[in-house]
């Protein structure tokens, strides 16, 4: 009888230990999952911020390209020369 009581107690301890270990592993995995979701959110916000910055620089570049096209014309060069302090020739 003592042997069966000891084995029941041993089985109960093993079951409790396994349950505690399972809960701890599950808790650890949930913490890791939450950390991963936070990192994904931070990375997405950074990606969105960089995409907006790229779009603003692309718009600025497009604007400057149209200005460059204007200043490559004769009228544009004339206006640029006037802005730089050049004068018109006197006759």
What lies within 8 Å, CB to CB, of 80 at 6+ separation is: 71
pLDDT surpassing 70 at residue 3? no
Question: What is the tens place of the pLDDT at every residue in 19-67?
Answer: 999 999 999 999 999 999 999 999 999 999 999 999 999 998 888 887 8
Q: For the chain, what are the domain ranges?
A: 2-83
C-alpha pair distances (Å), 37 with each of 25, 33, 42, 47: 18, 6, 9, 15
Asked if residues 70 and 76 have their Cβ atoms less than 8 Å apart, the reply is yes
Lowest-confidence region among 1-5, 41-45, 73-77: 1-5
> Taking the model in full, what pTM does it have?
0.56
Question: Which residue in the block uniquely carries the two structure tokens 């004068």?
Answer: 87
Length of the chain: 91
């Amino acid at each position: 009888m003592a042997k069966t009581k000891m084995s029941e107690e041993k089985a109960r301890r093993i079951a409790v230990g396994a349950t505690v270990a399972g809960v701890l592993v599950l808790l650890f995995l949930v913490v890791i999952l939450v950390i991963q979701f936070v990192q994904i959110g931070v990375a997405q916000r950074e990606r969105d911020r960089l995409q907006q910055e790229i779009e603003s620089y692309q718009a600025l570049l497009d604007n400057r390209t149209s200005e460059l096209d204007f200043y490559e014309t004769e009228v544009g060069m004339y206006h640029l020369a006037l802005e730089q302090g050049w004068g018109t020739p006197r006759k």
